[in-house]
Amino acid sequence: MQPSLPAEVPGAPRPGDFGRLHWRGRDMTVSQVSEATTDAELKALAEQAGRDLEDASAQEILQWAVGTFGKRFCVTSSMEDAVVAHLASRAMPGVDVVFLDTGYHFEETIGTRDAVEAVMDVNVITLTPRQTVAEQDAEHGPKLHDRDPDLCCALRKVKPLQEGLTGYAAWATGLRRDESPTRANTPVVGWDEKRRKVKVSPIARWTQDDVDAYVTEHGVLTNPLLMDGYASVGCAPCTRRVEAGEDARAGRWAGRAKTECGLHG
């Protein structure tokens, strides 16, 4: 089913808007950043927006991001679902959606990416590591994900994203505070110190029920694995189904102290 594309939020900024935005009784500055904008200015902008937009809806947060960054804004997606991509496409049709193809994904994940590209008004950009899995095996030995998952994630996720975000000033994620203790303090807009970019998490305050309701209302594409016991979908060798009572990310790197791949922590 092709997701519906509701009208933009009344009064919210659009690409190319400048000046002052009167939003929820407050005046906010809406200005499109340029390559001349310094890291210090971007950081201050992110911190201020995080405070101003804490109680804003996901759509309003994305409207702000699009109005502020224009084409220097992108969405990243693991293709667990297309909720943030769908939200962003309402604010900016044809928005760039960045996907990391690690070489270890489930077939269902690649299929979800292909479906998103086919039916949604987005521009899917697939990033790949510099080495194929075979080349990595030749240099580091087979099954690096079992022996040194941090290095594997660095080579197949962190470094490709670092390179792929070149040219963008801000990126959006699907992080939610309810997913795990490590994500409990995720700001809706914050400063990504590692990459020196503004990081937007428009659904940070959502619950799984909110996600499910949005998917149902708008017919948003989801990864079939979510209906097969997987609450969080990553690379196949490092992802298992979750048991009753476990948090959503308990199936990632099960049995290890590792809880994040390095993209968000």
Residues forming the active site: 261
The token duo for 251 is: 């199936």
DSSP H or E stretch at residue 215 = helix 208-218
Which residues does 60 contact at the CB level (< 8 Å), separation at least 6?
9, 12, 23, 53
Q: Is 258 helix (H, G, I), strand (E, B) or coil?
A: coil
Distance CA 121, CA 192 (A): 27
Which residues does 210 contact at the CB level (< 8 Å), separation at least 6?
203
Judge whether 153 is annotated as a binding position.
Answer: yes
The token duo for 256 is: 């290890």
Q: What are phi and psi of 196, to 5 degrees?
A: 60, 50
Judge whether 238 is annotated as a binding position.
Answer: yes
Distance CA 265, CA 263 (A): 6
For residues 228 and 216, is the Cβ–Cβ distance under 8 A? no
Judge whether 74 is annotated as a binding position.
Answer: no
DSSP letter at 197 equals E
Q: How is the chain split among helix, strand and coil, in percent rounded to 5? A: 40, 15, 45
Distance CA 196, CA 170 (A): 9
Distance CA 96, CA 156 (A): 20
Residues marked as binding? 152-153, 235, 238
Residues marked as binding for [4Fe-4S] cluster? 152-153, 235, 238
